[in-house]
A and B are shown apart, each in its own frame.
Chain A
Amino acid sequence: MKEKFDRGTALTIFKNDRAEDFTALLVSLAIAFLVYVFVK
Chain B
Amino acid sequence: MYPGGVTSRIMTRSTANQPGRFTAMIYTKKPPWTLIMGVIMAGYGYMVSTGAMEPLIKFLGTAKLTGEMSQLGYIFGGIAIVVGLWQLLATPKQGQADYYLSTIAGVIFIMLIAFVVKWGLDPLMAVWGKAARPSLGFDFASMLNLNYVVMGIIAGIIVVNVFKVPEWAQNGVRLSRLGLKTGVILLGALYSLAELQQLGKLSVVLIGFFVLGSVWLVLWMGARRKIPNSMGGVLAAGLGVCGVSASVASAPVVQAKSSEIAYTIGTILLWGILMMFIFPIVGKAMGMGPIQFGAWAGTGILNSAQVAGAALAFQPDGIETLKVAEIFNITRVLFLPIIVLWLATWYVKRETTAAKVSLGQVIIGKFPVFVLGFILMFALSSTGVFAPAQHYQGKFFDNSEAKMTKTGKDGKVTSKLLKDEEVATLQAEAEKVQREDQKAALARLIENKKAMSIDDDTTLRGLANAKVLSKEGNEVLKKAHGAVYHTAAKIAMFRDLIAWFFTFGLVGLGMQITMASIKQAGGQPLVIGTVVGTVKAVGSLIVVLLFVSETI
Contact = CB atoms under 8 A, between A and B. Distances in A.
A7 to B, nearest CB: 7
Given A2-B8, A21-B370, A35-B386, A13 B174 contact: yes
Contact of A11 (B22, B490, B512): B512
A6 B185 CA distance: 28
Contact of A13 (B11, B175, B380): B175
Contacts of A32: 186, 189, 377, 380, 386
Nearest to A11: B5
B369 A25 contact: yes
A12 B178 contact: yes
Nearest to A28: B185
B77 interface: no
Interface residues of B, number: 47
Contacts of B368: 17, 21
B267 interface: no
Interface in B175-199: 175, 177-178, 181-182, 184-186, 189
B518 to A, nearest CB: 14
Interface residues of A, number: 30
A28 B177 contact: no
A36 B488 CA distance: 11
Interface in A1-18: 1-2, 4-14, 16-18
Given A24-B182, A28-B182, A31-B186, A11 B99 contact: no
A11 B369 contact: no
Contacts of B178: 12-14, 20, 23-24, 27
B25 interface: yes
B4 interface: yes
Interface of A: 1-2, 4-14, 16-18, 20-25, 27-28, 31-32, 35-36, 39-40
Interface of B: 3-5, 8-9, 11-12, 16, 22, 25, 99-100, 103, 165, 167, 170-171, 174-175, 177-178, 181-182, 184-186, 189, 245, 248, 365-366, 368-370, 372-373, 376-377, 380, 385-386, 489-490, 493-494, 497, 512
